[in-house]
Amino acid sequence: MFENITLFLILSASSVAVTGMVLLFLRKRAILDHPNHRSSHKVPTPRGGGIAVTSIILAVWLWQLGPDGALLDYLPLGVGFLLAGMSWLDDIYDLSAKIRFLAQLVLTGMSLPWVFQHGIPLEAYLPVWLIAILIILAWTAFINFFNFMDGIDGISGVEAIGIGLGFTLITLSSAQSASNPFPTFELAPGLLIAAATAGFLIWNWHPAKIFLGDVGSIPLGYFLGGLLLVLAARGEWAAAIILPGYYLTDAGLTLLKRIIRREKIWEAHRDHYYQRAVRSGHSHARVSLMIALTNCGLIILAGWSVAAPYYALAAAAALIGLLIFWMNSRHAEKSRGALHD
């Protein structure tokens, strides 16, 4: 256990250092995210810190696989690199949403063999071709959900850490952990993602000195989505739903409301529940901390779901519902006050 903690701290410290160097580069090149009417920040902030997170994940993942790794386990590295490159161009030049979405569909489709080597979710109920289509759509949706939710200081960091650690702990405790694509606990993919993101979070905590940018949020959404699909492929489907439960709920409910209002769902907005909480007066740090605490509960429930999936899902829904209620309560009070005025 001591070795595991040591490696986590080394990777986190490396991420802190690399993020600091990336911050200097972004400032020098004036690659900044300027506030607008949809933003939750007030000062221009360097955007592109995900270069550090993604680089560490790719480098350490490749190093652990080495020259003798299974061929399919290199696949996420290539796709992650391509997504990072495309997203970096989007951070600088604002690529077309259609181009980005089509590229994500193609790249997640290319990644299916990596997931299917662990099993095929729902194989007993649906034909494989339909499962493949559903996974491509769900994976691409998750990538974009993760990107859309990256709207306040610290939020994506605490979410990535929660999912990464949850995946690692469930993989270790599962009787099927021998099928883990990484043979050692020390550098399991979930732990690697959590450590790399924890180092970045030091710089991204409120008030943030640097933002992930698409170059960070898109690859993170891809890697985390892939790990959740691996859980589902192993039969731990409830855990795959519970771990990202808050992000899925906030993004899903917001998307549904925007569709009902016939808004352009691909355009930036400030309608997420976490954004409502900030607008109503809660600080970025308080909201992100509440999400982190909720994720701690979700990790415990995800572990329980291996033995009692439906009870764990019900408890997770209640926990997430409490968080959403807290986020929306002060906003609702202000809205009622404005009506009375």
Annotated binding site: 147, 214
User: Pairing relation of β-strands 45-46 and 32-33?
Assistant: antiparallel
CB 330 within 8 A of CB 280: yes
**Which residues belong to the annotated binding site for Mg(2+)?**
147, 214
Shortest CA distance to 220 belongs to which of 108, 53, 13?
Answer: 53
CB 204 within 8 A of CB 154: yes
- Whether the bond between 207 and the residue before it is cis, its omega within 30 degrees of 0, is yes
Backbone angle region of 210, left / alpha / beta, with phi > 0 → left and psi within -120 to 50 → alpha = beta
CB 60 within 8 A of CB 192: yes
The Cα 175–Cα 213 span in angstroms is 38
The Cα 218–Cα 92 span in angstroms is 15
Tokens of 319: 């926990």
The Cα 35–Cα 38 span in angstroms is 8
> What are the beta bridge partners of residue 211?
47
* The dihedral sign for the CA sequence 62, 239, 169, 205: positive
Place of tokens 């043979």: 183
